[in-house]
Amino acid sequence: MAAMKKLLIIVAFGTIAALAAGLWITRPLTVNTEQVASLSGSAADGEWVFHLGSCASCHATPGGDKTVLAGGREFTTGFGTFVAPNISSSPAHGLGAWSQADFFNAMRHGTSPQGTHYFPAFPYASYTRMSDTDIANLWAYMATLPASDAPTQPHRLTFPFNLRATVGVWKALYLRTAFVGPGEDTERGRYLAEAIGHCAECHTPRSALGGLQNNRWMAGAPDPSGKGKVPGITPAQLDWSEADIAYYLETGFTPDFDSAGGGMAAVIEGTSRLPATDRAAIAAYVKALPPAQ
């Protein structure tokens, strides 16, 4: 009996220790507030970041003014329906009461001002790779946009995906700051595509838990709505030249005289505002992508 009691005590302490370690590993992370507070962003420089990130395509009310980020757009997935929140400058319903550190926590760690996990439908898994300067510039620009008092609507998710605590496990599995694609001679393009442009969020297939499959980077994926497929853009699947890709990012016209539609049309709105050198950098990165495993 004594040996059994001792074993039970060991098992109990081991379980408690494992749970404590799990809670620590999956806790919501935050940035160094003092370090972030010292950064000064430029609204003028943040405008191109806003457009390349296609912020309005998700957060502007469908059919409404694209500068009013009132939210409301619905995204139906296998986990349920996500509803884009109000991220306008409204203090009551948007980000108007946030600090710059709050914004950095959201972009870099997917952590809310209340210290809870954001669901990764918000593509912070890509934004976490953004530079401090670009995040600060984006924050400065968004503060200049109109406020909307439209309340944020709740997500409608199935159990257990509606539990924010489970997102900590997802982050431990999938949230990484390291870049994935080739960087030699394509570093600028890789940054624009993998961080601000978050191209992989649509063009890379996901695991059953919704994490990106890095070994199939940019190889195409089912549309999250369940209708159709997002095409692969590796050279093995896309035989366009660098000039073709750069021209498409500028105009939306393909070498076959077709034009961008759907969600890609919103992407072109952003890339068309980039300097030609940046579009060329993205094109060089796409042409350097390895084939999917």
Determine the structural domain holding residue 123 and report its residue range.
33-154+166-174
Written as one string, the DSSP assignment of 15-74 is HHHHHHHHHHHTSPP---HHHHHT----HHHHHHHHHHTTHHHHHSPTTS-TT------E
Q: What is the dihedral of CA 278, 196, 222, 249, to 10 degrees?
A: -20
Q: Give yes or no for a contact between 247 and 25, defined as CB atoms under 8 angstroms apart.
A: no
Let me know whether 133 and 39 are in one domain: yes
Written as one string, the DSSP assignment of 171-213 is HHHH---S--S--TTTHHHHHIIIIIS-THHHHS-B-TTS-B-
Which pLDDT belongs to residue 3? 62
Q: How far is CA 92 from CA 62, 95, 169, in A?
A: 21, 8, 31
Final residue before a domain boundary, out of 108, 141, 174: 174
Report how far residue 79's alpha carbon sits from residue 160's, in angstroms, rounded to the nearest whole number: 9
Let me know whether 116 and 205 are in one domain: no
Report how far residue 257's alpha carbon sits from residue 113's, in angstroms, rounded to the nearest whole number: 47
Pairing mode, strands 80-83 and 74-77: antiparallel
Which pLDDT belongs to residue 37? 85
Let me know whether 193 and 282 are in one domain: yes
Report how far residue 197's alpha carbon sits from residue 270's, in angstroms, rounded to the nearest whole number: 9
The answer, yes or no, to whether the previous bond of 28 is cis (omega within 30 of 0) is no
Which pLDDT belongs to residue 206? 94
Let me know whether 170 and 202 are in one domain: no
Let me know whether 139 and 192 are in one domain: no
The DSSP 8-state label assigned to residue 120 in this structure reads T
3-state secondary structure 126-158: HHCCCCHHHHHHHHHHHCCCCCCCCCCCCCEEC
Do the domain assignments include residue 27? no
Let me know whether 103 and 195 are in one domain: no
Report how far residue 205's alpha carbon sits from residue 287's, in angstroms, rounded to the nearest whole number: 19
Let me know whether 199 and 261 are in one domain: yes
Tokens of 264: 């890609």
Which pLDDT belongs to residue 163? 92
Let me know whether 170 and 198 are in one domain: no
Which pLDDT belongs to residue 148? 95
Choose among 278, 276, 282, 244: nearest CA to 260. 244
Domain count, the chain: 2
Let me know whether 249 and 142 are in one domain: no
Q: How far is CA 234 from the centre of its chain?
A: 20
Let me know whether 46 and 122 are in one domain: yes
Tokens of 134: 């670009």
Final residue before a domain boundary, out of 117, 139, 174: 174
Which pLDDT belongs to residue 16? 43
Which residues does 203 contact at the CB level (< 8 Å), separation at least 6? Answer: 218, 219, 220, 221, 230, 231, 232, 233
Query: Model pTM?
Result: 0.90
**Phi–psi pair at 83, nearest 5 degrees:** -120, 125
Q: Tell me: the pLDDT tens digits for 18-37?
A: 444 454 456 788 888 888 88
Let me know whether 96 and 227 are in one domain: no
Parts of the chain with a pLDDT under 50: 13, 15-21, 23-24
Choose among 42, 63, 43, 66: nearest CA to 269. 66
Which pLDDT belongs to residue 20? 46
Q: Tell me: the pLDDT tens digits for 246-284?
A: 999 999 999 998 998 888 999 999 999 999 999 999 999
SS3 252: coil
Let me know whether 138 and 55 are in one domain: yes
Report how far residue 252's alpha carbon sits from residue 265's, in angstroms, rounded to the nearest whole number: 7
